[in-house]
Amino acid sequence: MAPKFSYLLTTFLLLLFSIQLFIAQSEDHEGKTLKFLQSLKEVIKGQNVVGLNKVTGYLDSATIKNMMIPRCGVPDITNLTSSSIPTSSSHHKSKMFHMVSHYDFPEGTPRWPSSKYQLTYTFRSGVQSPNEEDMRSACSQAFQRWASVSQFSFQEAPAGSQADILIGFYRGDHGDEEPFDGPGMVLAHSFPPQDGRFHYDADEDWSSNPNMNQMDLESVAVHEIGHLLGLAHSQDSNAIMYATIPPGIIKRELTQDDIDGIHALYRN
């Protein structure tokens, strides 16, 4: 019965996704379909996907529900091994032991060099958005949250100047091989060190004081800055670095798991 149920759920999800593709504003339908099928394959195989707490080998209703929550566009599946960052701490996360920490790092554990702990950022959007000023304020506050628990400092650079980090609103296929999907699902994405790109999906309903149907600019900014600094998604649902966030939720405070992650990545 379980394989049959899994097959029916998979078929339903593929149909639902096909309908979403039909109404989406992005033109890169083929590319997104291939990405979806790849991620679906990894879920069914029981890979390390955020939100899949019990590996059964089947696509269950809890996993489907989690996949429908708006989320960061950065992939969940990573390749960290226990030797990626040498440490004697019992709180360090490895693939075999998950007793305390749930933070993670992308493959290769990219980091900013010590000569780049004073980072600059600026704003440059691919599309016009009514939320530009709110975005600036939200990002400024989000940067300060990370600065308060790390060795980093952040300073806004003048518009049009060179900066370490470039932030803006984009929609659909915007030239980074990670097209947005229109309203819902993928909210934003950013790239690990030392890339520096951070993109909001302009098709989402953004606010600095969200109602139950809007997404919080600062909550997403704190999360994406974590990726910019080198953190991957955490398995801790309370952490800023957890992959999903529902509409209307304000989640701006770094948790101990987030702090432990940035400290483990940038040890003195």
State yes or no: 72 annotated in a binding site: yes
State yes or no: 92 annotated in a binding site: no
Phi, psi of 104 (to 5 degrees): -150, 170
State yes or no: 91 annotated in a binding site: no
Question: Is 177 annotated in the active site?
Answer: no
State yes or no: 189 annotated in a binding site: yes
Return the structure tokens found at 85: 């960052």
Query: Which residue reads 């195989």 in tokens?
Result: 45
State yes or no: 139 annotated in a binding site: no
State yes or no: 216 annotated in a binding site: no
Q: Which residues of 143-152 are buried (b: 16+ CB within 10 A; e: fewer)?
A: bebbeeebeb
DSSP H helices in the chain: 2-23, 29-45, 61-67, 132-147, 217-229, 256-265
Paired residues of 216 in beta bridges = 207
State yes or no: 233 annotated in a binding site: yes
State yes or no: 104 annotated in a binding site: no
Catalytic residue among 107, 132, 177, 224: 224
Return the structure tokens found at 150: 């790390």
Q: Which residues are annotated as a binding site for Ca(2+)?
A: 164, 181-182, 201, 204
Q: Which residues are annotated as a binding site for Zn(2+)?
A: 72, 174, 176, 189, 199, 223, 227, 233, 241
- Residues that are catalytic: 224
Per the annotation, binding residues are 72, 164, 174, 176, 181-182, 189, 199, 201, 204, 223, 227, 233, 241
